[in-house]
């Protein structure tokens, strides 16, 4: 069995995804055959992976990014369970790439054994094929109400005998309390696997931080394996769209005399918000995630992104008045693009007896198509051309399809079939990831600038998105190599956790799994044994 490591976090967005990717890139550069793994992800940022059988399947986009850090193609097994929230109360369950059910918090428990079995089996397969598997946890391992039946955090570590490191975001404050509390709320068996800490997003004088590092080590008996500095270049492929802040990336100065301002509507159930990241890599393009009508009205280009709840998010646009702002933007002849769910919202009519089950509702009426939702989800990698000969590729994840209308297509598949729609400055497509095609992105931005009247905007001729992503992954690898104790990390990966870590009381409540700590010795014992 190969080596492995679990990267857990004190909270969501503590840095688990980027630290996992950084460790993967560091190992890959050392010549280690390494793979990423996340047993269960809850995210609407997904990507389509084509399996050996030719079928398309979904995994979390973060795991595809981590696979790229490993220098390997993404594999459905890297994220065997994906939960895609459609509301505050229900999620679609994607198992080994395919949607199998919709669950609520109440009935998830009955499905969990099946999901855990699949996660454990796929991890075992990967560990048989790779020298090392770097696993990413979910949320925090100290969610004591969720510990029973857990198979993504300490439940996975216990099952597979993995050492765990806990990463905390110091930029949010309270990191030492979060690190200590995470350990102290775990059972003795879980604590035995927690083998150290990593501090993320530090800015300031490292000398002032050192006493805290010494104290947390003394308080827990576990080392701090390093402190990662705050780095503005780490922003691509964020797991959670809310992690972006408001402006994506670090906009470079324009090549011409004018900026192109892009407003991406932050829908409540936004999915694949990463589609706009390729735009944000371009000099002179400022991309802002927003729900402010004034910012949308002031934008040159408006992007309606994907949604896991198209009809619900469309209703939200109307309730907030943003629908009127979007219509006014289009009426002014300024460019507007809808992607997947956003494209569906631009239709004349939406027939949905599948996702929202609300039947027929009116769309925004900005594109002459009707959308119908089907039971079968389209999962595909797609290629084609736009404007006659500009190559473009992407991937599709949608239940809705164009059921009526014959508009001018935005692009065509390789076989000539039409895709999307364009009327004047308004367009839409079901393809995610299209803006990662360099020629397509440049032509699109040039057209958008013309339609917006930004005659001083000049698109850069040399931005290559794949190279930008590779540089970002190298930054993560550099951060790990330069700021973490990589010798200690390798020992953990290769030999597992040391066996001499102290127990930190009070430990987990009995209902949260594991043994109850003895009131005097702190040693674990089964409840009720006396």
Q: Which of 96, 66, 67 is nearest to 81 (CA)?
A: 96
Peptide bond into 506 cis (omega under 30): yes
Q: Which architecture characterizes domain 3-234+471-509 according to CATH? A: 3-Layer(aba) Sandwich (3.40)
H helix intervals, 259-377: 277-280, 293-298, 310-320, 322-331, 341-345
Q: Residue 233 — very low, low, confident or very high, per pLDDT cuts 50/70/90?
A: confident
Phi, psi for 256 (deg, rounded to 5): -100, -150
Give pLDDT tens digits for 306-328. 999 999 999 999 999 999 999 99
pLDDT at 218: 97
Angle 465-483/16-29 helices, nearest 10 degrees?
Answer: 90
Is the distance from CB of 305 to CB of 264 less than 8 angstroms? yes
Catalytic residue from among 28, 351, 430, 432:
432
Based on the residue annotation, tell me whether 24 is a catalytic residue of this protein: no
The CATH number of domain 256-459, selected from 3.40.50.880, 3.30.70.3280, 3.40.50.300, 3.30.420.10: 3.40.50.880
pLDDT at 520: 27
Integer Cα distance of 274 and 394 in angstroms: 13
User: Is residue 419 pLDDT above 50, yes or no?
Assistant: yes
Q: What angle do CA 265, 270, 272 make, to 5 degrees?
A: 105
Is the distance from CB of 265 to CB of 293 less than 8 angstroms? no
Is the distance from CB of 342 to CB of 304 less than 8 angstroms? yes
Phi, psi for 492 (deg, rounded to 5): -65, -45
pLDDT at 88: 72
Q: Concatenated DSSP letters for 19-43?
A: HHHHHHHHHHHTT--EEEE-SEEE-
pLDDT at 240: 54
Q: Residue 44 — very low, low, confident or very high, per pLDDT cuts 50/70/90?
A: confident
pLDDT at 1: 60
**CATH 3.40.50.300 residue window(s) in the chain:** 3-234+471-509
Residues comprising the chain, all counted: 530
Query: Strand, helix or coil at 177?
Result: helix
Integer Cα distance of 431 and 444 in angstroms: 14
Provide the percentage of residues in the chain whose pLDDT is more than 70.
94
Based on the residue annotation, tell me whether 70 is a catalytic residue of this protein: no
pLDDT at 224: 98
pLDDT at 90: 83
The DSSP code for 79 is S
Q: Give 352's contacts (C-beta < 8 A, 6+ positions apart).
A: 310, 311, 358, 359, 360, 361, 371, 372, 373, 400
Give pLDDT tens digits for 429-481. 999 999 999 999 999 999 999 999 999 999 999 999 999 999 999 999 999 99
Catalytic residue from among 340, 351, 398, 483:
340
Q: Concatenated DSSP letters for 188-238?
A: HHHHTTEEEEEEEEE-S-HHHHHHHHHHHHHHHS--EEEEEEP-TT--TT-
**CATH 3.40.50.880 residue window(s) in the chain:** 256-459
């Amino acid at each position: 069995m190969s080596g492995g490591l679990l990267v857990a976090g004190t909270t969501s967005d503590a840095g688990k995804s980027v630290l996992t990717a950084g460790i993967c890139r560091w190992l890959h550069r050392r010549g280690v055959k390494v793979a990423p793994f996340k047993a269960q992800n809850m995210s609407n940022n997904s990507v389509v992976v084509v399996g050996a059988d030719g079928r398309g399947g979904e995994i979390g986009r973060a795991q595809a990014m981590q696979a790229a850090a490993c220098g390997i193609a993404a594999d459905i097994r890297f994220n065997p369970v994906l939960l895609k929230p459609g509301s505050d109360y229900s999620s679609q369950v994607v198992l080994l790439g395919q949607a199998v059910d919709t669950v609520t918090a109440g009935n998830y428990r009955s499905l969990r054994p099946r999901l855990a079995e699949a996660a454990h089996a796929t991890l075992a397969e990967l560990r048989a094929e790779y020298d090392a598997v770097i696993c990413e946890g979910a949320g925090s391992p100290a969610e004591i109400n969720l510990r029973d039946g857990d198979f993504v955090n300490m439940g996975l570590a216990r099952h597979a005998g993995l050492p765990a490191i806990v990463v905390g975001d110091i930029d949010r404050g309270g990191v030492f309390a979060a690190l200590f509390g995470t350990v102290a709320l775990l059972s003795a068996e879980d604590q035995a696997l927690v083998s150290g800490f990593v501090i993320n997003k530090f800015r300031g004088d490292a000398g002032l931080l050192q006493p805290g590092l010494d104290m947390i080590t003394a308080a827990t008996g576990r080392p701090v394996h390093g402190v990662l500095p705050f780095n503005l270049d780490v922003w691509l492929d964020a797991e959670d769209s809310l992690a972006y802040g408001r402006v994506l990336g670090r906009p470079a100065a324009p090549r011409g005399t004018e900026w192109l301002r892009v407003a991406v509507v932050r829908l409540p159930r936004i999915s694949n918000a990463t589609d706009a990241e390729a735009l944000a890599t371009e000099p002179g393009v400022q991309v802002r995630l927003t729900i402010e009508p004034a910012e949308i009205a002031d934008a040159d280009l408006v992007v309606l992104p994907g949604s896991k709840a198209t009809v619900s998010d469309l209703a939200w646009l109307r309730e907030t008045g943003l629908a009127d702002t979007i219509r006014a933007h289009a009426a002014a002849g300024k460019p507007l693009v809808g992607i997947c769910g956003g494209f569906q919202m631009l239709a004349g009519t939406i027939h949905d007896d599948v996702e929202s089950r609300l039947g027929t509702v009116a769309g925004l009426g900005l594109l002459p198509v009707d959308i119908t939702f089907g039971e079968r989800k389209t999962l595909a990698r797609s290629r084609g051309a736009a404007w006659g000969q500009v190559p473009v590729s992407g991937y599709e994840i949608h239940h809705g399809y164009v059921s009526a209308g014959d508009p001018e297509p935005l692009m065509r598949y390789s076989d000539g079939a039409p895709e999307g729609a364009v009327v004047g400055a308004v367009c839409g497509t079901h393809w995610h990831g299209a803006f990662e095609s360099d020629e397509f992105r440049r032509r699109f931005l040039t057209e958008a600038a013309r339609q917006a009247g930004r005659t001083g905007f000049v698109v850069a001729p040399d931005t290559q998105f794949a190279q930008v992503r590779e540089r970002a992954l190298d930054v993560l690898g550099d951060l790990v190599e330069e700021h973490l104790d990589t010798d200690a990390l390798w020992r953990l990966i290769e030999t597992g956790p040391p066996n001499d870590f102290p127990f930190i009381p009070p430990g987990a409540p009995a209902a949260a799994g594991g043994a109850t700590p003895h009131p005097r010795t702190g040693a674990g014992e089964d409840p009720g044994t006396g």
